Amino acid sequence: MIPETVPSKSSQGEKDLFAILRDRLDESFIVWHNPNVGGLEADFILLSPTFGLLIIEVKGYNYGNILQANQNFFQIRRTFKGVTTVESETSPLKQCRSYLINTFDIFKRFPILRHASGDRQGKLVMPIGHGALMSNIKMSQVSEDAGLLGVLTPPRVAFRDELLAWKELNSTELVSRLRQMFTVYFSFKTLTEDQVSTIRGILYPEFVAKEQPATTSSTTDEVILPKECKVLKTLDIEQERLARSIGEGHRLFSGVAGSGKTIILLARAKFLVNRDSDSRVLVLCYNITLAAYLRSLLHQDSSNPQYKKIEVHHFHDWAKNILGRLPHPDNVAGNYNIHMGNQLLEKISASHESRKWDSILVDEAHTFFPEWLECCVQALKDSENGSLTVVSDGSQSLYERTKFTWKSVGIQATGRSKKLSRNYRNTKQILSAAWNVIEASSLLSDESGVEAEATFPIIKPSSALRSGTKPLLSIVRSSKDEIEGLLERIKQLLDKGYQTKDIAIIYQKIDNYYRQSFNLLTDRLKQEDIDYYWITQSKHQKANYNDKLSGVRIITSLSALGLEFKAVIIPWVQQFDNSYYTANAESIIRNKRQLYVAMTRAQQELYIFGSGSKSILGMLKDSSYFDVC
């Protein structure tokens, strides 16, 4: 059920039907209550891989208040506070059918949803129907009114006495009755997971996480897939529930790596624009690369050009747009970013409301300075009640930041925060190995005090949804051997069918010591004719990052924050151990968190290479989470 509970403002008929569908239907069904479809709000939409798609409109008309009825319109008498009016409304069945007129055509654009041959060639692989429930009218009343019976014709229309009887039906009996609401119903093969996901994505484009090529398992054997056939991958049910439940005002989400924080944030941004195309929606983050990635996801969605209205910036770019130019570092005494934040706050506070935003969404908020978050609050047209969505993860706090509380920056967090502990990105094996870096390094003890823990809590992952192979740890004699082992893994991945853009080489830094090794890496990639994309080569490269561009990604752990790849290779893992050079506990912890971030970018496969005598090699080797070679 989406939402999980029926809103109190719903009519009694909607509440009754909600309870019946919740209690009587089996778990293969998804039931949406009051969803918005193409700008219209339906009462109920039911979808099941063995049932099809059904829309039900619930009307609470009293029989005596229907003055006139035909297939197109009803005239309804209403009395409110002693004043009686007559209103014309679209007939229930016509209203119900209008929800899917445009969507029906969109369904047919996806080859996995239509028959490629046979008697039903070109038609949809599952039935779509619509019906109505008259929750305050008995069947006996309509039976005595020939005119009304011709408009509200069973079995496509159900009445109050039948609604009451549904409470006693079992799942099979209820499904059988609901099937009678379809104008045309036919048997069909059980829809695949990709077909169901694509249907959900068509109905609610704001909850599409990504498009990906269809495979032979995306459809039944009735459908022959043409080239470039796509599948819409949507948020799972829990994520969709959460995204839909985000209310107005300030909302905080703390989640583990891979918990879908960014996906939920983007879904919220899409929802806001779909709800009001004139609203100003702003997405902010810290990393240049992440901003470019989010912008490409939103602005290159050819099916939803309205998403181009969503502004996406990394914070410095946003500040530059407002200030005209950023302060020169030579003219700043003290912390540059704090100075810039205060300068920006002053400019925003003096700005006219028309230059501010209806909604602001902050990704990876743990990378922000408190002064920056104050700017976000003040940049809202309504700083107290405006829509501000903030997502963070304390275990990915990679930079030194001033400690603060939400209250101190003007964010009203009491009763408006939620923790996300389920991991969707990584396999259980990758997540366990990465989390061990956090635990083994004593990173769970909050080195920064109670305030920081309350602001950006460190959440332990509760579960990962997929399983795979153990990450591979290769400890070799030299950094040159690391490069050769890395190249061999890339070739193996390409032979397995991975595209170059699916693979990322994530390193910590290139200093004088590693410059020669890095040059060897790029030279060997060229010699092997392996296309690569060095994202962090320059600011220009980062600002123009696009998930669709080809090439093995080469990127730092800091710039990789918020991104994900099917396979990740980490060379020179010893770089993440700086304990030999410093006794600063916070610096050591931040270094290990960088390794955690790098490891959790991997969706399916993770390979780590190291050489030398750093203690981190022994820690990884002695753990039970790696296959070691």
Instruction: Say what the pLDDT of residue 440 is.
Output: 66
Find the helix or strand (DSSP H, E) in which 376 lies.
helix 370-378
537 CB-side CA count, 13 A: 13
- Confirm if 507 and 569 have CB atoms less than 8 A apart: no
pLDDT in tens, 518-552: 999 999 999 999 999 999 999 999 999 998 899 99
CA distance linking residue 478 with residue 496, whole number of Å = 27
Cα 445 from chain centre: 30
CA distance linking residue 433 with residue 475, whole number of Å = 16
- Cα 455 to Cα 186, 254, 401, distances in angstroms: 55, 9, 12
DSSP character at residue 420: E
Find the helix or strand (DSSP H, E) in which 463 lies.
strand 463-466
Query: Which amino acid type is present at position 58?
Result: V
Instruction: Say what the pLDDT of residue 368 is.
Output: 97
260 closest CA partner among 213, 209, 205 = 209
Q: For tokens 């993860």, what's the residue? A: 393
Interacting residues of 346 by C-beta distance below 8 A, sequence separation 6+: none
Phi, psi of 28 (to 5 degrees): -75, -15
- Confirm if 96 and 131 have CB atoms less than 8 A apart: yes
Instruction: Say what the pLDDT of residue 154 is.
Output: 94
Convert 429-457 to b/e letters by CB count within 10 Å (16 or more is b). Answer: bbbbbbbbbbeebebeeeebeeebebbbb
- Confirm if 37 and 100 have CB atoms less than 8 A apart: yes
Q: What is the dihedral of CA 5, 11, 12, 18, to 10 degrees?
A: -40
| Residues of the chain under the 50 pLDDT cut | 443-453
Phi, psi of 240 (to 5 degrees): -65, -45
307 closest CA partner among 335, 341, 290, 283 = 283
Sign of the C-alpha dihedral computed for residues 184, 187, 190 and 192 taken in this order: negative
SS3 content of the chain, % helix, strand, coil (to 5): 40, 25, 35
Phi, psi of 141 (to 5 degrees): -65, -40
Q: What is the dihedral of CA 503, 508, 513, 517, to 10 degrees?
A: 0
Burial class (CB in 10 A: 0-12, 13-18, 19+), 89: middle
Instruction: Give the tokens for residue 36.
Output: 């918005």
Interacting residues of 47 by C-beta distance below 8 A, sequence separation 6+: 29, 30, 31, 53, 54, 196, 199, 200
Instruction: Give the tokens for residue 584.
Output: 């600063």
Query: Which amino acid type is present at position 565?
Result: F
DSSP character at residue 384: T
CA distance linking residue 573 with residue 508, whole number of Å = 8
Query: Which amino acid type is present at position 208?
Result: V
* Sheet bearing 503-507, strands edge to edge: 532-534, 552-556, 503-507, 565-570, 602-611, 472-476, 627-628
Interacting residues of 89 by C-beta distance below 8 A, sequence separation 6+: 73, 74, 75, 76, 95
Q: For tokens 């989010």, what's the residue? A: 294
pLDDT in tens, 457-488: 888 898 888 999 999 999 999 999 999 999 99
Instruction: Give the tokens for residue 84.
Output: 């009686």
- Confirm if 37 and 57 have CB atoms less than 8 A apart: no
